[in-house]
C-alpha cells in the first residue's frame, strides 16, 4: 500500500505544474518569455519534489519521475529551460554526495539533453499526435541510456537492472498520459482564446456590415466632384489640394474595403490549390511595386504544394504579407520567398525580409484589430490575413529581431 501511495504522490507532482500553469498563468501572463520562466520554475519544483519523495521498495531500490518535468521543460521551454533543470538535478544529486548514482545521473543527462534539444524545434512545429510520439520516444531513449550506463557501472545483472526496467516501463506510460493531457488542455485553452477573440471581433463585423457601404457612397460622390473640379486652367496650388483630397479619399476607401473583407461572412468555397503556383502569381503582381521600393525578390518555390483553400483569399493573404515585407525596407533590400513541404504534412510558405524588424511585444500584437507598425496603417490587412489562415486550418509563425528583419512562416495542411 505504501508503494501505491508513493506512485500516486509522484503523479501528483506531475499534475501540479500543469494545473497551476493553465489555471493561473496563461490567462494573466501574456509574454511568452515570462511564461517559459514561470513554467520552468514550476517544473523545477516538480523535479525537487519527485527526487525528495521517491518510490522506495526493497533494498536501496527507488523510482522517481524527474525525467518527465525535465523532458517537458526541454520540449516546451527550450534551451535555457533544459539547462536550468539539468543543473538543478545535478546539484540535488551532488548534495547527497558523489556516488555511482551521481555519475550515472550526469552521464545520462550528457547523453540525453542534446537529443532533447535536437527534437525541440520539430516538437514545437508538430501536431498533437506527433508530439505525443516524440515525447514518448525521448522518454524511452532517456531511460534506455540510464539503463545502459547503470549496467556499465554496476554490471549487467538481473539484480541491478530489474528496477531500471520497471522504471522504463513506468516512465513511458506516464509520459504518454501526461503529454496527451497537456496537449488536450492546450487545445481547449486555444479554443477558448479564439472564442473570446471572435466575440470581441463580432461587434466590429456587425458595425462593418451596417455602416461601410453607407460611408463609401458619399465618399465616391465627393471623389467624382473633385475630379470634375480639377480643370486644366486651375492654379497649381489648387490642383495640388484637389489631388491630396482624392488620395486621402482613396486611402479611406481602402480601409473600408479591409473592413468589408473582415466583416462579410466567410463562405466554405475552398478547393484544391497549388500554393506554389499562387505564390508565383503574387510575386508577378508585386514585382513592379518591389522595384519601385528598390527591393529584390528571390524565390525558391516547390511547384507541387497542394493545399485545401480558397485561392482568392490565399492570394490576398500572401499579397498583404509580401507587401508589408517590401514596405519594411525603406532603403531597399532583399525579400526571400520559399514554398516547401515538411515532415509533419504541412506546406510551409516563408517570406523573409531585411527590414526594420519587430520586438517580441510587437510580434505578440500582430493580427490584433487596429494594430499596425505603419504610421498610416490600420492593422486590418494583417488581421484579415490571420483570420484567413486560421480558416484554412493553418497557422502563422513570426520570427523577428529589431533591426534584423522579419520572417513570416505560414503552415497549411498538405493534401495529396
Stretch among 84-93, 106-115, 172-181, 241-250 having the lowest mean pLDDT: 241-250
Instruction: Give the CATH class of 2-195.
Output: mainly alpha
Which is nearest to 412 in space by CA: 336, 341, 311? 341
The CATH number of 271-413 is 3.30.565.10
Average pLDDT on 189-206 reads 70
Average pLDDT on 325-351 reads 90
Helix (H) or strand (E) holding 58: none
β-bridge pairing 333-341 and 295-301: parallel
Which is nearest to 159 in space by CA: 167, 149, 151? 151
Q: What is the pLDDT of residues 42-51, one digit of tens each?
A: 999 999 999 8
Domain ranges of the chain: 2-195, 202-263, 271-413
Query: 1 pLDDT exceeds 70?
Result: no
Query: 10 pLDDT exceeds 90?
Result: no
More confident residue, 197 or 65: 65
Q: What is the pLDDT of residues 174-189, one digit of tens each?
A: 999 999 999 999 888 8
Check: CB of residue 360 under 8 Å from CB of residue 324.
no
Check: CB of residue 55 under 8 Å from CB of residue 64.
yes
* Cell numbers for 239: 490642383
Count Cβ atoms below 10 Å from residue 213 Cβ, excluding itself.
Answer: 11
Check: CB of residue 323 under 8 Å from CB of residue 287.
no
* Cell numbers for 307: 493545399
Which is nearest to 410 in space by CA: 391, 397, 393? 397
Query: 65 pLDDT exceeds 90?
Result: no
Check: CB of residue 322 under 8 Å from CB of residue 338.
no
Query: pLDDT value at position 208?
Result: 65
Query: pLDDT value at position 239?
Result: 79
Give the torsion sign (CA, 96, 99, 103, 105): negative
Q: What angle do CA 21, 25, 29 make, to 5 degrees?
A: 145
β-bridge pairing 406-413 and 395-400: antiparallel
At which residue does the C-alpha cell 520562466 appear?
Answer: 37
Q: How far apart are CA 19 and CA 17, in angstroms?
A: 5
Query: pLDDT value at position 388?
Result: 86
Query: 408 pLDDT exceeds 90?
Result: yes
Amino acid at each position: 500500500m505504501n508503494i501505491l501511495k508513493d506512485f500516486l504522490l509522484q503523479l501528483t507532482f506531475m499534475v501540479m505544474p500543469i494545473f497551476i500553469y493553465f489555471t493561473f498563468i496563461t490567462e494573466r501572463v501574456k509574454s511568452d518569455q515570462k511564461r517559459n520562466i514561470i513554467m520552468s520554475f514550476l517544473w523545477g519544483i516538480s523535479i525537487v519534489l519527485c527526487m525528495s519523495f521517491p518510490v522506495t521498495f526493497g533494498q536501496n531500490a527507488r523510482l522517481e519521475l524527474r525525467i518527465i518535468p525535465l523532458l517537458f521543460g526541454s520540449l516546451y521551454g527550450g534551451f535555457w529551460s533544459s539547462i536550468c533543470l539539468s543543473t538543478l538535478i545535478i546539484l540535488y544529486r551532488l548534495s547527497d554526495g558523489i556516488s555511482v548514482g551521481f555519475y550515472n545521473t550526469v552521464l545520462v543527462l550528457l547523453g540525453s539533453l542534446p537529443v532533447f534539444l535536437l527534437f525541440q524545434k520539430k516538437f514545437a512545429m508538430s501536431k498533437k499526435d506527433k508530439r505525443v510520439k516524440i515525447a514518448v520516444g525521448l522518454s524511452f531513449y532517456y531511460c534506455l541510456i540510464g539503463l545502459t550506463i547503470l549496467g556499465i557501472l554496476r554490471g549487467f545483472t538481473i539484480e541491478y537492472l530489474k528496477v531500471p526496467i520497471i522504471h522504463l516501463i513506468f516512465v513511458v506510460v506516464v509520459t504518454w498520459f501526461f503529454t496527451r493531457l497537456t496537449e488536450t488542455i492546450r487545445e481547449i485553452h486555444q479554443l477558448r482564446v479564439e472564442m473570446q477573440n471572435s466575440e470581441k471581433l463580432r461587434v466590429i463585423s456587425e458595425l462593418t456590415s451596417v455602416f461601410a457601404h453607407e460611408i463609401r457612397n458619399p465618399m465616391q460622390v465627393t471623389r467624382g466632384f473633385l475630379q470634375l473640379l480639377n480643370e486644366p486652367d486651375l492654379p497649381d496650388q489648387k490642383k495640388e489640394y484637389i489631388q491630396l483630397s482624392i488620395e486621402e479619399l482613396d486611402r479611406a476607401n481602402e480601409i473600408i474595403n479591409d473592413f468589408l473583407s473582415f466583416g462579410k461572412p466567410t463562405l466554405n468555397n475552398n478547393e484544391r490549390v497549388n500554393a506554389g503556383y499562387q505564390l508565383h502569381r503574387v510575386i508577378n503582381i508585386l514585382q513592379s511595386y518591389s522595384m519601385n521600393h528598390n527591393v529584390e525578390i528571390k524565390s525558391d518555390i516547390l511547384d507541387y504544394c497542394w493545399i485545401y483553400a480558397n485561392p482568392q483569399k490565399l492570394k490576398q493573404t500572401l499579397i498583404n504579407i509580401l507587401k508589408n515585407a517590401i514596405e519594411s525596407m525603406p532603403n531597399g533590400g532583399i525579400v526571400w520567398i520559399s514554398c516547401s513541404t515538411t515532415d509533419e504534412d504541412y506546406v510551409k510558405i516563408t517570406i523573409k525580409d531585411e527590414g526594420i524588424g519587430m520586438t517580441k511585444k510587437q510580434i505578440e500584437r500582430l493580427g490584433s484589430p487596429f494594430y499596425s507598425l505603419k504610421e498610416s496603417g490600420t492593422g486590418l490587412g494583417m488581421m484579415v490575413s490571420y483570420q484567413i489562415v486560421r480558416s484554412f486550418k493553418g497557422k502563422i509563425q513570426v520570427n523577428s529581431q529589431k533591426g534584423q528583419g522579419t520572417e513570416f512562416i505560414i503552415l497549411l495542411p498538405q493534401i495529396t
